[in-house]
Amino acid sequence: MHDLFACAMHNSCRENQTSVVLLSSPHFAGSIEGKVSGEDIWAASALRGLQEMGYTTLFAPRNEEMAGTYRRYPALIKAVILEGSDSEQCFNNPRCIKTATHPLGVPAWKMFSFHFWTGSSHPLGNAWTLSPENFPVLSPGNSKDNFYLGYSIERQCMKIPITPSQQRPMQGYVFAKQISYFYDRQFAWPGMLWEPPFELKLFAGMRNDTDYASEIPEGITNLGILPKRDFYEQLGKSRVLIGVGKPTLSPSPYDALCMGVPFINPILDWSKDHPDDRARWSAQHDTLKYEDPPYVYNVKKGDEDGLWEAVRQALDNPIDRYIIPAMRMDALKARLSVLVESDWRSKAEGVLYERKQSGRGKLFEI
């Protein structure tokens, strides 16, 4: 805010500097603290994009602080990003939301819910619900689409040195962060022996999250929970990343591709009548089910022979760094620009009109 006021006083503001984006989701603080959940990585990417574009970003945790900050600078704040539950609470709190008797409250149309999964998480519906993945593409025909904000791993990944493929040991990394994944109903390879029919050592970084002494599958060397730097080191010298069914929609396969490591993506469910229709697949990573070899190998659950053949193909066809075009920083910035600069007020007027006509849904002030 000091920089903003100083540039305004001297008429020297950079492009977008007088536009403020208020960040209230705790994941933005988490990203600065170095947390590495999918939501924190998403928040870090959005924050970096906004800052590179020149927007002024302020962090105000909890609705009370968020609403107080908004009251100070209502004309400058273009958008507020907060958790879905907090947007609902603000919408129903006359001391937070803009009303006829509280004109300096936060307008509902300036609030956007930071929501990692599918479905609406905002009082005004899907259009104000931000998503990390392009869920309309993943679920074609869905008329209620969230706003695809997405994220980029480009800046961080490109800083990480990788071992040239020909210098890497014959090592594969099994993507399982918790031992319980091997006992979960979504486990992709039940009953399989982790014995590749060719030279390949398998590693994983897992913690025992069960109440009993679960055995690590024989053939996999468990390195334990790894700090982020050590995880990237192990991933960067591996020749393939093997999914086991969980975690879903994790950023790690994107990191792997960017570090030149192909990903084995388990397909957990599919249409018996249309087994090759990817739109009907349910995968560990649903976005990557639309990618092809040599970057991503989609293998149906339980197909042990198909798994090892995919691993063999990955070993025989090493890749360079690969970033999905939609996950490059320029693509993210284009979507951030739409988020911050679009006429959301007019869109909200349409929602308000429909509610008045139908008599359904709580009314709000524009």
Report percent pLDDT > 90 for the chain. Answer: 86
Structural domain for 247, as ranges: 155-325
**pLDDT for res 30:** 92
Mean of all residue pLDDT scores within the chain = 94
Task: Verify that 86 and 174 share a domain, yes or no.
Answer: no
Would you say how long the chain is, in residues? 366
Task: Verify that 265 and 127 share a domain, yes or no.
Answer: no
In a domain, 364, yes or no: no
The letter for the amino acid at 273 is: D
Q: Please give the structure tokens belonging to residue 353.
A: 């009109």
**pLDDT for res 216:** 83
- CA 168/CA 162 separation, integer angstroms: 9
Q: Which CATH number belongs to the domain containing residue 311 in this structure?
A: 3.40.50.2000
Distances (CA, A) of 168 to 3, 160, 226, 227, 261: 47, 15, 20, 21, 11
pLDDT digits (tens, 9 = 90+) for 45-92: 999 999 999 999 999 999 999 999 999 999 999 999 999 999 999 999
- CA 243/CA 168 separation, integer angstroms: 20
Antiparallel, parallel or unpaired: β 129-131 and 111-114: parallel
Task: Verify that 303 and 183 share a domain, yes or no.
Answer: yes
- CA 327/CA 322 separation, integer angstroms: 10
pLDDT digits (tens, 9 = 90+) for 291-346: 999 999 999 999 999 999 999 999 999 999 999 999 999 999 999 999 999 999 99
In a domain, 117, yes or no: yes
Task: Verify that 77 and 193 share a domain, yes or no.
Answer: no
pLDDT digits (tens, 9 = 90+) for 41-53: 999 999 999 999 9
Most distant CA pair in the chain, distance: 72
Q: Which CATH number belongs to the domain containing residue 12 in this structure?
A: 3.40.50
Q: What is the dihedral of CA 43, 44, 49, 52, to 10 degrees?
A: 140
In a domain, 366, yes or no: no
**pLDDT for res 35:** 86
pLDDT at 143 over 50: no
- CA 333/CA 54 separation, integer angstroms: 11
Task: Verify that 178 and 295 share a domain, yes or no.
Answer: yes
Task: Verify that 109 and 196 share a domain, yes or no.
Answer: no
In a domain, 365, yes or no: no
Task: Verify that 18 and 161 share a domain, yes or no.
Answer: no
pLDDT digits (tens, 9 = 90+) for 243-294: 999 999 999 999 999 999 999 999 999 999 999 999 999 999 999 999 999 9
Task: Verify that 108 and 161 share a domain, yes or no.
Answer: no
Task: Verify that 163 and 52 share a domain, yes or no.
Answer: no
pLDDT at 140 over 70: no
Task: Verify that 175 and 122 share a domain, yes or no.
Answer: no
Cβ–Cβ under 8 Å, residues 168 and 239: yes
Q: Specify the DSSP element, H or E, that contains 246.
A: none
Tell me the DSSP string of 242-277.
Answer: EE-S-STT-SHHHHHHHTT--EEEEEEE--SSSTT-
In a domain, 363, yes or no: no
Residue-wise burial string across 93-108, b where 16 or more C-beta atoms lie within 10 A, e elsewhere: beebbbeeebeebbbb
pLDDT digits (tens, 9 = 90+) for 19-34: 999 999 999 999 988 8
Task: Verify that 61 and 92 share a domain, yes or no.
Answer: yes
Mean pLDDT of 110-117: 96
